[in-house]
Amino acid sequence: MPKFQWVEHCSFRVDGTPKAQPRGRAFAIKRCSNGHTFSAKKYRCPKCQALGTVSARIHDAGTAKEWKRAVWAAAQRFKTASPITLPLRVDVDFYMPRPKTFSPKVRAAYGGSSRDIPSGPVLFLPKPDRDNLDKAVLDALTKANFMADDSLVCWGTVRKFYHGIGGRPGARIRIMVWKPTKGPENDA
């Protein structure tokens, strides 16, 4: 019987500020006669109770477009002739822009003082959530025809950080494929 294992396919960095996969398709904005804007799901303006008219449709897919395009572009040189249909492991480290001052929540995670924040990567605690960051990357890889479907990804670690001092925003992506081990027991 052949033995299988995770074999590294590629590892690469994507530059840019990581974005979450947008939820939902598109949403409309209403504007009342007093100039307030509010969700089109609401019938009346929450501020002044006036009726509103739809003034814009915002495709929230646009919010991740640039980032997903960067992931798509970075994956191009590692594509195989046809999309991968084997089980996949994808490990991603996200590096978000590092602020000049950290929130109390982040400071507390390192003992409370700014002086205790490491100069290297720092745990990233605000939104976006980890799974939504992951989803945007996997969606971009699938759109790049790197793999046949996101559902093939069944393993992997997703971490989110602020980048270290001297670093820059982006992501480090490692992709592994579940393949038969090369060796004597698999020959014949």
Side-chain half-sphere CA neighbours of 165 within 13 A? 5
Length in residues, the chain? 188
Nearest CA-CA partner of 151 in 90, 109, 99: 90
Minimal distance in Å, beta carbon 88 to Zn ion? 50
Minimal distance in Å, beta carbon 26 to Zn ion? 23
The sign of the torsion formed by the CA atoms of 92, 23, 125, 167 equals: positive
What x/- string results for residues 109 through 128 when contact with Zn ion is judged by CB under 5 A? --------------------
Minimal distance in Å, beta carbon 53 to Zn ion? 12
Minimal distance in Å, beta carbon 123 to Zn ion? 41
70: which 2 tokens? 């960067």
Site for Zn ion in 29-48 (CB under 5 A): 32, 34, 36, 45, 47-48
Q: Are strands 153-155 and 88-96 parallel, antiparallel or unpaired?
A: parallel
List Cα–Cα distances, 116 to 91, 112, 122, 124, in angstroms: 28, 7, 11, 15
36 or 107, CB closer to Zn ion? 36
How many residues sit close enough to Zn ion to count as binding (CB under 5 A)?
7
Q: Are 12 and 173 in contact (CB under 8 A)?
A: yes
Work out the number of other CB atoms within 10 angstroms of the CB of residue 114.
11
Q: Please identify the residue of the shown chain whose CB is closest to the bound Zn ion.
A: 45
Site for Zn ion in 60-89 (CB under 5 A): none
Site for Zn ion in 138-177 (CB under 5 A): none
35 or 99, CB closer to Zn ion? 35
48 or 165, CB closer to Zn ion? 48
48 or 58, CB closer to Zn ion? 48
Minimal distance in Å, beta carbon 55 to Zn ion? 12
Q: What are phi and psi of 38, to 5 degrees?
A: -155, 170
Which chain residues interact with Zn ion by CB under 5 A? Answer: 32, 34, 36, 45, 47-48, 50
